[in-house]
Each structure stands twice: as C-alpha cells, then as structure tokens.
C-alpha cells in the first residue's frame, strides 16, 4: 500500500517536471532577443484611427491655425492704429501748446513793451540820481519790481558784460570807443541798458545796449594799462 502510494506520487511529479523542461525559454538578453524576436501582442498596440477621424482632426487643426493667423493680423493692426493715434494726439498737443503760447505772447506784447519802457525810465533815473541817494534807491527798487513782473510774464533780464564780444542778436551798439589795443576791438566797453529775452524760446525781445571798443591805430597809449588812450 505504501509502495503504491509512493509510485503514484512519483508519477504525478514526472509530468510536471517534463512540462517545465519542455517549455521553450524566452530570450532575456539583447543578443537573444535579436536572435529570437518575439512577436508583439496585438492587444498591446493602440488602435489606429480611422481615415475619417484623421481627416476631421486635420480639418480642425487647419481651422484653428487660420483663426490664430487672423487674430495675429488683427492684433498687429490694432497696435499700428494705436501708435498712429498716439502720434496724432502728441502732435495736436504740441500744436495746442504752441498756439496757446503764441496767443499769450500776442496778448502780452503791448504790456511787455510798456513794462520795458517803464523799466528803462526808472533805471535811468535811478542812475542819474545815484544809488546812494534815497530817491535814487527808491527808483531802483521800482525798477526791480518791474523786472520781477516781466519775469513772471516769461521774460528774463540780461546785461552786456564789459569785455564781452559783440553779438548782433543780443547787443545794440550806442557808440564806439576808440582803443589802441587790437584785442579789444568789437568788445563791450560800457553797458548802457539791459536786454530782455523770452525764457522758453530764448528769443531776444530787446537787445542789451552798450558802447563798444573800436581799434584805431592812430590812438596811442598814454599810460600802461590804459586801453583807450588818446588820439594823436
């Protein structure tokens, strides 16, 4: 009984060992896989799209690309129009500012002319009386007040400095002073009256008045340091 049981158990094991031995081995290394390629399982591959679905997808993509192209063109046109609009606005603003400035200057022209004449009269009277005198100092303070009014109107006061070269747009010569020094020719010898210029544009409203040196070879120097000298 025990022997039969042992034989049966041995027979039951033999088929299993034989099956495992007879089962073909699957290639494991790269060389073995190349030598014994294994066919892909059809169930592992993704299903290929049908021709109709592929054509529909390409049509959708083409429509999206076309719409994006139109959006890009409209955006570029919008930016171009915006830049043109900003340019027009800036130009209109500049023209408006120039117009307002021109109208303001045109309105103030008679007032500025009268103020300049008033300043000249007050300044001339103050110098005639002398700054040390109380009346002269009073006239000088009035002249300073007028210059401040002109400054608020946009006009600055400038003077002709002694030794400054003659500038036809800023100086008005009242007289010439003969001199023996050729280097002083056409330079300011003495300032007579101040000038006025517009602060924004720099345009001279009234040139500064002065006397200028004029070189004369007939003038001799009486003393060293006397550039004017005397006429022979």
Where are the chain's structural domains? Answer: 79-153, 160-232
**Which pLDDT score is estimated for 20?**
45
* C-beta of residue 185 within 8 angstroms of C-beta of residue 176: no
**CB neighbours of 111 closer than 8 A, spacing ≥ 6?**
153
Q: Give residue 131's pLDDT band: very low, low, confident or very high (50, 70, 90).
A: low
Q: Where are the alpha helices (DSSP H) in 130-164?
A: 134-152
Listed residue (175, 181, 182) closest to 210, CA to CA:
175
**68-72, 108-112, 115-119, 147-151: range with lowest mean pLDDT:** 108-112
Fold category of 160-232 in CATH: Nucleotide Exchange Factor Grpe; Chain A, domain 2 (2.30.22)
Residue 9, pLDDT > 60, answer no
Give residue for tokens 């033999």. Answer: 14
Whole-prediction pTM: 0.49
Listed residue (193, 213, 192) closest to 205, CA to CA:
193
**CB neighbours of 127 closer than 8 A, spacing ≥ 6?**
136
| Mean pLDDT for the stretch of residues 198-220 | 88
Share of the chain above pLDDT 90, in %: 25
């Amino acid at each position: 009984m025990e022997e039969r049981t042992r034989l049966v158990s041995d027979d039951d094991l033999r088929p299993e060992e034989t099956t495992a031995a007879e089962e073909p081995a699957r290639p494991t290394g790269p060389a073995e896989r190349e030598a014994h390629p294994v066919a892909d399982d059809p169930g592992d591959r993704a299903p290929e799209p049908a021709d109709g679905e592929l054509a529909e997808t390409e049509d959708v993509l083409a429509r999206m690309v076309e719409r994006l192209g139109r959006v890009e063109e409209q955006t570029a046109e919008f930016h171009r129009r915006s830049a043109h609009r900003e340019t027009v606005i800036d130009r209109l603003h500049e023209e408006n500012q120039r117009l307002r400035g021109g109208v303001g200057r045109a309105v103030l022209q008679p007032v500025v002319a009268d103020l300049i004449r008033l300043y000249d009269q007050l300044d001339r009277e103050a110098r005639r009386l002398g700054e040390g005198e109380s009346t002269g100092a009073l006239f000088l303070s009035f002249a300073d007040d007028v210059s401040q009014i002109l400054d608020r109107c946009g006009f600055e006061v400038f003077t002709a400095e002694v030794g400054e070269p003659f500038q036809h747009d800023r100086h008005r010569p009242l007289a010439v002073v003969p001199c023996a020094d050729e280097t002083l020719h056409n330079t300011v010898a003495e300032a007579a009256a101040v000038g006025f210029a517009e602060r924004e544009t720099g345009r001279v409203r009234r040139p500064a008045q002065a006397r200028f040196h004029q070189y004369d070879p007939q003038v001799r120097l009486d003393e060293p340091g006397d550039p004017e000298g005397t006429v022979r």
